[in-house]
Structure 1
Amino acid sequence: MLVFKFGGASVKDASGIVNLANVVKQYQGNQLLIVVSAMGKTTNALEKLTKSYVDQDEDVHDIFNDIKKYHYTIIEELFEPSNPIFNDVANSFVEIDWMIEEEPHDDYDFIYDQIVSIGELVSTRIVNAYLNKAGLNSQWLDVRGYIHTDNTYREGVVQWDKTKESINKDIPSLLQKGIVVTQGFLGGTSENFTTTLGREGSDYTASIIASCLDAESVTTWKDVPGILNADPKFFEDTVKFDELSYSEAIEMTYYGASVIHPKTIKPLQNANIPLLVKPFTNPGEAGTVIKENGINKFEKPVIILKQNQVLLSISAKDYSFISEDHLSGIFGLFAKSQVKVNMMQTSALSFTVCIDLFEDRFKKLLNGLNQSFRVKYNQGLTLITVRHYSPASLKELTDGKTILLEQVSRNTIQLVVK
């Protein structure tokens, strides 16, 4: 039994969905579960819609109409007007229609999950319909009834026992009947509300399902030839890894390598299931395989960039030393605000952290910190992480930049730069 995950870039237009079907045709004869992300940049557009709705801006309906137009353009290329997919997509979008007609009263993160999740629900409806049109027997599955989470919206914590029980109860018999298509990124609460698993969480969805079903492998189809040592959008002459160990992949994703969601590897490692990263434009290529005994060869250093960073310096108002009691309170505020620390450093009088900028969470964090601490911060920074570095590679990366914070260990160096 195989699990495939197709990201937004692979289904961004009608030709991408046709290509997906052609890839799937090469694996006929296998039990196959397919996890699909929202199409193209739909999640970004739905995030913009969410913010506009919460702020009660005038462009709410314009943004939503653009999102609908984008999807209808794709399905008009793929299907005859009489195909039921038009009604299926309309019925998915109407959930947003109902919500934005009312004034926002709920928590922002709750609203976010109810709106942004529609991207995956629509994309999987379209993919499933096209697979059936192409003669591939396929069934649509609502993942929210199988991946159970707590009520931590935008970062749902998986309830593993309940999830495994639900997945094993129904999905094996469905796979015996044909292909199963379901959503990435989504979960459901006991109150039947939608949660998301964290941005770019579709890889994690594939990993959860595969580990519960003891799949043969997970393949995530990308717009790159495999896992590279750096992002080709920012660096020339990148090199591909043929293999990586689970531990190296975990380190890379922890530091922000965007090709795989950080939570993806651990469930696969626990079940000893290999993860393949392959190009959807050239499915016959080997790509990269991540496995227990994967061989790590580093011809060049691994370079990971995280942009839109904030550097905070937190100190006590009475100029006392930063103690364990202070740190306990600070980390409690970070957890309450759902803000993750990418890098941190402690001195006698201050605690400095580098974080991603999510404006709503950052505002909540600042409000909490300012009650007991003095806080200074810089925005618009970049965090550079280099694994298996050399002095020459560091000089090239930092040339012309101001280094605000630096940490060095045996294998990794991290730099916050302006």
Structure 2
Amino acid sequence: MTEVFKFGGASVKDAEGIKNLARIVKLNKDKQLLVVISAMGKTTNALEELTNAYVNQQEDIHQIFERIKEYHESIMMQLFEDPGHPVFDDIANSFVEIDWILEEEPHEDYDYIYDQIVSLGELVSTKIVSTYLDHIGIKNKWLDARSFIHTDNTYREGQVNWTKTEAAIQAKVSPILMDRVVITQGFIGGTSENFTTTLGREGSDYTAAIFASCLKAAAVTIWKDVPGVLNADPKLFPDTIKYEELSYRDALEMTYYGATVIHPKTIKPLQNSGIPLLVKPFLAPEENGTKITESNVFITEPAIIVKKNQVLVTISTKDLAFITEEHLCEIYGLLAQAHVKTNTMQLSAISFSLGFDWDERKFTKLSSLLRDNYAFKYNAGLTLITVRHYKPDVLKKLVDGKTVLLEQLSRHTAQLVVKL
């Protein structure tokens, strides 16, 4: 049976990372493998910077773009050494697609522009990896994910047409896997008009789940720079522990609340198909990592998820009337129009508070939509701390020295919006 491997940007950030990916593929040479790969290192961030510079018509557009090209050329020189290798022309031609965009006046739809530019990171990284695997004798086929992941026209948040996607993958990908490794991109999809969409930031995990579900794969392995799924971010908490096993339910909850080790949409397609998800360290592929299945394992160590750069908005009617179901219905409609996803919320008699990731464009749009019928105030630069299977002493320690602006406790989950 097929297995799906997903390698994120950290695992292909340099030539050594790509060589390590090749070693992992060789270790699994007896399997039918489909490999999903993200953009290299911080390329997505750099392409976002380029997109914003282009939209705002900044003077440093071409300097930003040159840095991106030089970064990839440096990696290719270390992998292939010969500057006459065909891969250099292939990648240069790929970058020309962005040159064409930059020569035009910016399209009025920012999200559309974003997807056309930022998606190139995955296309370039997979071409380099595929060529390197060929170079060292690993037979593989590069596939353009946009021909298989069919979405609607919701740019930056493409909604997958599962019927078309499954038909395309089963008809065209399955036969190739019989005799070679398949290399494809995470994060990106295509519309019926052949425009590029993306599946949401960090969406490569979701891509792996889509391919796995459609191929009825035996397992999905996400290769990370951590030993597995930890109970907290090791950069913020020195005494983290690794979960050996998690249930789909707990993994879903953790990703929903912002655990960055797995994309939030990844779990459900795998749960529906009963496909195990493994999270393993790419520098120690022999280790077990964390296994996520339909298990009844109980978490005893609280999971702590920290999301920074939050904004807390408190909404009330202009006449300070009670917040009714009709008001909530209208407010949620406005949130949908502004493409704002809430991370936490709380209702009182005359106000409704909600927290979400700061995004200046979305916040500006939501503000303009609210202004007609509602009064509102907000605080930005906040941090949301979510604790699954919380304990009182853990919460007390987490808020020590901080100002708590919102606290929400349920049976298993505590959420705290704090000001540092």
Q: Into which bin does the TM-score normalised by the smaller protein fall?
A: over 0.9
- Structure 2: which amino acid aligns with 1:188? G
SS of the equivalent of 1:155 reads coil
SS of the equivalent of 1:407 reads strand
Between the aligned partners of 2:129 and 2:306, the Cα distance in structure 1 is 32
- Which residue does 2:76 correspond to in 1? 75
- Which residue does 2:257 correspond to in 1? 255
The 5 Å alignment of 1:27-46 reads 27-46=28-47
Deviations along 1:82-107, one digit per CA (max 9) or x if unpaired, are 22111111111111111111120230
- Which residue does 1:207 correspond to in 2? 209
2:275 matches 1:273: yes
Say which is worse superposed, 58-67 or 318-327, in terms of deviation.
318-327
Q: Does the 8 Å contact 1:243/1:294 carry over to 2? A: no
Between the aligned partners of 1:394 and 1:325, the Cα distance in structure 2 is 35
- Which residue does 1:244 correspond to in 2? 246
Deviations along 1:171-201, one digit per CA (max 9) or x if unpaired, are 0111113000000000100110000000000
- Which residue does 1:289 correspond to in 2? 291
Say which is worse superposed, 115-124 or 353-362, in terms of deviation.
353-362
Between the aligned partners of 1:371 and 1:169, the Cα distance in structure 2 is 51
- Structure 1: which amino acid aligns with 2:388? R
- Which residue does 2:266 correspond to in 1? 264
- Which residue does 1:66 correspond to in 2? 67
- Which residue does 1:132 correspond to in 2? 134
Say which is worse superposed, 301-310 or 316-325, in terms of deviation.
316-325
- Which residue does 2:120 correspond to in 1? 118
Between the aligned partners of 1:97 and 1:152, the Cα distance in structure 2 is 24
Between the aligned partners of 2:284 and 2:360, the Cα distance in structure 1 is 39
Tell me how far 1:125 sits from its aligned partner. 0.4
- Which residue does 2:308 correspond to in 1? 307
The 5 Å alignment of 1:117-266 reads 117-266=119-268
Q: Does the 8 Å contact 2:257/2:386 carry over to 1? A: yes
SS of the equivalent of 2:122 reads helix
2:386 matches 1:373: no
SS of the equivalent of 1:338 reads coil
- Structure 1: which amino acid aligns with 2:183? V
- Which residue does 2:318 correspond to in 1? 317
Gapped runs of 5+ residues in structure 2? none
SS of the equivalent of 1:313 reads strand
- Which residue does 1:348 correspond to in 2? 349
- Structure 1: which amino acid aligns with 2:347? T
Q: Does the 8 Å contact 2:185/2:204 carry over to 1? A: yes
Between the aligned partners of 1:325 and 1:59, the Cα distance in structure 2 is 48
Between the aligned partners of 1:296 and 1:101, the Cα distance in structure 2 is 56
Between the aligned partners of 1:407 and 1:86, the Cα distance in structure 2 is 54
Say which is worse superposed, 341-350 or 317-326, in terms of deviation.
317-326
Q: Does the 8 Å contact 1:31/1:178 carry over to 2? A: yes
Between the aligned partners of 1:115 and 1:219, the Cα distance in structure 2 is 28
Q: Report the aligned-residue RMSD.
A: 0.9
- Structure 2: which amino acid aligns with 1:362? F
Gapped runs of 5+ residues in structure 1? none
Tell me how far 1:327 sits from its aligned partner. 1.1
Say which is worse superposed, 74-83 or 134-143, in terms of deviation.
74-83
- Which residue does 1:20 correspond to in 2? 21
Between the aligned partners of 1:321 and 1:91, the Cα distance in structure 2 is 60
Say which is worse superposed, 365-374 or 136-145, in terms of deviation.
365-374
TM-score, normalised on structure 1? 0.99
SS of the equivalent of 1:113 reads helix
Q: Does the 8 Å contact 1:6/1:221 carry over to 2? A: yes
Between the aligned partners of 1:91 and 1:363, the Cα distance in structure 2 is 37
Between the aligned partners of 2:267 and 2:107, the Cα distance in structure 1 is 37
- Structure 2: which amino acid aligns with 1:129? T
SS of the equivalent of 1:363 reads helix
TM-score, normalised on structure 2? 0.98
Between the aligned partners of 1:56 and 1:334, the Cα distance in structure 2 is 29
Identity %: 64
- Which residue does 2:337 correspond to in 1? 336
Deviations along 1:344-385, one digit per CA (max 9) or x if unpaired, are 111111110000011111111111111221121000000000
Between the aligned partners of 1:8 and 1:294, the Cα distance in structure 2 is 32
Between the aligned partners of 1:338 and 1:68, the Cα distance in structure 2 is 32
- Which residue does 1:10 correspond to in 2? 11
Between the aligned partners of 1:32 and 1:208, the Cα distance in structure 2 is 15
Tell me how far 1:163 sits from its aligned partner. 0.5
Q: Does the 8 Å contact 2:299/2:389 carry over to 1? A: no
Of residues 104, 107, 117 in structure 2, which corresponds to 1:105? 107
Between the aligned partners of 2:224 and 2:159, the Cα distance in structure 1 is 26
Tell me how far 1:10 sits from its aligned partner. 0.2
Distance 1:142 1:7, change over 3 A: same
- Structure 2: which amino acid aligns with 1:233? K
Between the aligned partners of 2:157 and 2:373, the Cα distance in structure 1 is 27
Q: How many residues align?
A: 417
Tell me how far 1:294 sits from its aligned partner. 5.4
Tell me how far 1:59 sits from its aligned partner. 1.1
Tell me how far 1:264 sits from its aligned partner. 0.2
- Which residue does 1:96 correspond to in 2? 98
